[in-house]
Amino acid sequence: MYQKNQNTNEPSNKLSLDRRNDGVLISKSQSEQRLTAGQHIPVLLSEVLHFLEPRKGEFYLDLTAGYGGHAKEIMERTFQPKQAVLVDRDQKAIDYLEQQFAGKKPEIIHQDFASVVQELSSKGRQFDIILADLGVSSPHLDSASRGFSVRLDGPLDMRMDQSKGITASDIVNNYDEAKLAEIIRRYGEEPRANRIAREIVAHRPITTTQQLAKIVASSAGWRSGSKHHPAIRTFQALRIVVNDELAQIEISMPTLIKMLKPNGRIAVISFHSLEDRMIKRAFADEAGDRYDSTIKLLTKQPVTASDAELVFNPRARSAKLRAAVKIKKKGE
């Protein structure tokens, strides 16, 4: 799979895919991804390369470049890092990308991607390859001081961009009970939202992630047979609100499709059903057999990680990849 192309000595994008009983496509073997393991292991890397099919000279936009795992492999195949735009709203990720790609000189932007997409689009920029690998990175989850982890003790922050915006603490300690319950129900899809919100309000002020995790666990209880911490859904809800995550996707998707060049490919990896539903809908709005369709779906069902990938990257467990190719501009 990661052998060099025998004719050109270039890295190959080829991937052998299997179809599971439920129709989801998975790669046959992904053990070579261990080679790229660093701080953050890129999820579904073989599948991303398969669907994005990077080719020499192509223009690449990475909306969530993070620790450059996907970006490195894609830029190695386009041979044009200077034509790549790498975006992240996290300063630590930006520092890492600047160091990692210092000699290659891609355009690196510290900004939320919804703002970047509007700006690039207003300048008429077009791309052959667009990737969004949504959500948080492993360094976010592994560093207690960022406040994302349900298992490590840290401040209730959860901002991807720590230079601005409200923190999880602002929400937990200031929102009224009804608003808290609504957030936890809607963005955490948590059936026990009312009880959790009541307990949060009763225990204020709450200053640390462990304090919050314990309050949620004692009010929601461990579900029988579940391996997941009972506060995971509440943490997800807070994180989504703190970073305005769904609005970022909703605002950007239609413009991203417009920014694709003819035959350009877009891939989006999401990590929970709220995101996946939005991406599915945004693609469906532009795809199909209609006279005005602008894209063709490359994945009818979302692609998920193989058992082989999950062995060395359990965080890929909830990843879902959807991809599409541009067939024409609107109105053509």
Q: How far apart are CA 110 and CA 188, in angstroms?
A: 28
Binding to ligand SAM in span 257-316, by CB under 6 A? none
Cα 308 versus chain centre, distance: 21
Pick from 25, 59, 68, 147 the residue near ligand SAM by CB under 6 A. 68
Identity of the residue, 47 or 112, whose beta carbon is nearer to ligand SAM in the bound complex: 112
Pick from 46, 100, 137, 234 the residue near ligand SAM by CB under 6 A. 137
Pick from 53, 58, 133, 286 the residue near ligand SAM by CB under 6 A. 133
Identity of the residue, 296 or 315, whose beta carbon is nearer to ligand SAM in the bound complex: 315
Pick from 30, 42, 101, 212 the residue near ligand SAM by CB under 6 A. 42
Pick from 69, 106, 147, 230 the residue near ligand SAM by CB under 6 A. 69
Pick from 50, 70, 77, 265 the residue near ligand SAM by CB under 6 A. 70
Three-state SS for 78-142 is HCCHHHEEEEECCHHHHHHHHHHCCCCCCEEEECCHHHHHHHHHHCCCCEEEEEEECCCCHHHHH
Identity of the residue, 194 or 318, whose beta carbon is nearer to ligand SAM in the bound complex: 318
Identity of the residue, 84 or 136, whose beta carbon is nearer to ligand SAM in the bound complex: 136
Q: Which of 98, 49, 100, 42 lies closest to 74 in space, CA to CA?
A: 49
Pick from 87, 274, 323, 324 the residue near ligand SAM by CB under 6 A. 87
Identity of the residue, 159 or 326, whose beta carbon is nearer to ligand SAM in the bound complex: 159
* Largest Cα–Cα separation, the chain: 68
Cβ pair 75, 81 in contact under 8 A = yes
Cβ pair 46, 318 in contact under 8 A = no
Decide: is 93 part of the binding site for ligand SAM (CB under 6 A): yes
Residue 240 Cα distances to 160, 183, 188, 209, 234, angstroms: 11, 9, 9, 16, 10
Decide: is 67 part of the binding site for ligand SAM (CB under 6 A): yes
Binding to ligand SAM in span 156-175, by CB under 6 A? 160
Identity of the residue, 201 or 246, whose beta carbon is nearer to ligand SAM in the bound complex: 246
Q: How far apart are CA 63 and CA 145, in angstroms?
A: 24
Decide: is 66 part of the binding site for ligand SAM (CB under 6 A): yes
State in angstroms the smallest separation of the CB of 10 from ligand SAM. 21
Q: Which of 154, 128, 161 lies closest to 261 in space, CA to CA?
A: 128
Beta bridge partners of 325: 265, 296
Binding to ligand SAM in span 97-116, by CB under 6 A? 112-113
Decide: is 50 part of the binding site for ligand SAM (CB under 6 A): no
Identity of the residue, 248 or 294, whose beta carbon is nearer to ligand SAM in the bound complex: 248
Identity of the residue, 58 or 112, whose beta carbon is nearer to ligand SAM in the bound complex: 112
For 37, the token pair is 């393991």
Q: Which of 247, 270, 245, 249 lies closest to 322 in space, CA to CA?
A: 270
State in angstroms the smallest separation of the CB of 60 from ligand SAM. 12
State in angstroms the smallest separation of the CB of 61 from ligand SAM. 12
Q: Is 308 helix (H, G, I), strand (E, B) or coil?
A: helix
Residues whose CB falls within 8 Å of the CB of residue 127, separated by 6 or more in sequence, listed in order: 59, 60, 61, 85, 259, 260, 261, 264
Identity of the residue, 41 or 197, whose beta carbon is nearer to ligand SAM in the bound complex: 41
Helices marked H in 203-315: 209-220, 232-242, 245-259, 273-286, 307-312
Q: Which chain residues interact with ligand SAM by CB under 6 A? A: 40, 42, 64-70, 87-90, 93, 112-113, 133, 135-137, 160, 248
